[in-house]
Amino acid sequence: MNLVLLDAQTLGDDLDISCLESFGTLTVYQTTTKEETLTRIQNADIIITNKVVIDAQMMAQTPQLKLICISATGMNNVDLDAAKKQGIVVNNVAGYSTKSVVQHTFAMALYLLEKMAYYDHIVKDGSWTKKGLFTDVSQPFYEISGKKWGIIGLGTIGKEVAQVATAFGAEVSYYSTSGQNLQQTYPHQDLDMLLEESDIISIHAPLNDHTFNLINAQNLSLVKEETILLNLGRGGIINEDDLASALDTKKFYAGLDVLAKEPLSADNALNAVQNKERLLITPHMAWASIEARKKLLEGIVENIRVFMEK
């Protein structure tokens, strides 16, 4: 078998991928552009890809291709209909990053809630020392306990966020983006009510017709001052132009691990936000704890093993 790993860099340099060599001849590319893809997969029996797109035209020109392993949960980078027509098996890995994303949700929430950027800065720039007082409470922060935490998308990750938020003492409610996930432990609210009442809002939904531009200028106007809005679902759920404008007109906070275009483009309106202390952006890494990436690799290996044993 010829195995081709198209974007090894997304797995991290610290991950030992030599286990894949047991299945055949492994060719590894750190990154792969759209223009390079077809040439690199021409003689592949098995492709491993995270974000590299494999479309119908490419599949038609790769006669040996038998299996596409997506090193992620989302499968939108592969034309699934074309794969089915050509008898190519497509597998993903689900559930590997839940703990990692939940942890990052609270890391972002606590960083913004406790004004960590400000307090870290005043210590390191000597301001605290010059004041001569043992403490600094010039930027008040709040406790999660007693606050309302609204969750948009109560799937596997959303449910775990709800459990942790409850352990902190928060009052949890949720909004179902599909309108079908209504039999839950927590009360369901319509979107406007959730945005209007919640102190912390976290998004854990997929990007689809129901969620594209779900958060926009119209409903951002409902968000209270001091609210924290977190997106750990997909870029495109929040309209970034509208968010940038809102952050400069109302005192609330946003934490984003995902963007509509990644990496952050130079012309993204978020770069021009004046109140930068109200905005935290991390580079789509909530999924990527060491433990999660190890589970991901184990899932890929298992998918290949099961396929080859058929």
Task: Please give the single-letter amino acid code of residue 185.
Answer: T
Maximum pairwise Cα distance, the chain? 73
17 CA to centre of own chain:
23
| Three-state SS annotation for 108-154 | HHHHHHCCHHHHHHHHHCCHHHHHCCCCCCCCCCCCCCCCEEEEECC
30 CA to centre of own chain:
21
Report which DSSP code applies to 277: G
- The answer to whether 217 touches 171, Cβ cutoff 8 Å, is no
Q: Which of 273, 170, 254, 160 is nearest to 215 (CA)?
A: 254
Three-state secondary structure call for residue 215: strand
Task: Please give the single-letter amino acid code of residue 263.
Answer: P
Tell me, yes or no, if 262 is annotated catalytic.
Answer: yes
Which one of the listed residues 234, 240, 278, 293 is annotated catalytic? 234
Tell me, yes or no, if 284 is annotated catalytic.
Answer: yes
Tell me, yes or no, if 302 is annotated catalytic.
Answer: no
Q: Within 10 A of 150 (CB to CB), how many other CB atoms are there?
A: 27
Which one of the listed residues 21, 36, 143, 262 is annotated catalytic? 262
Q: Tokens in use for 85?
A: 């027509």
Q: Tokens in use for 288?
A: 């990527």
- The answer to whether 261 touches 285, Cβ cutoff 8 Å, is no
- The answer to whether 200 touches 230, Cβ cutoff 8 Å, is yes
Q: Which of 222, 276, 212 is nearest to 248 (CA)?
A: 276
d(CA 223, CA 175): 15
Q: Within 10 A of 147 (CB to CB), how many other CB atoms are there?
A: 19
Catalytic residue set? 234, 262, 284
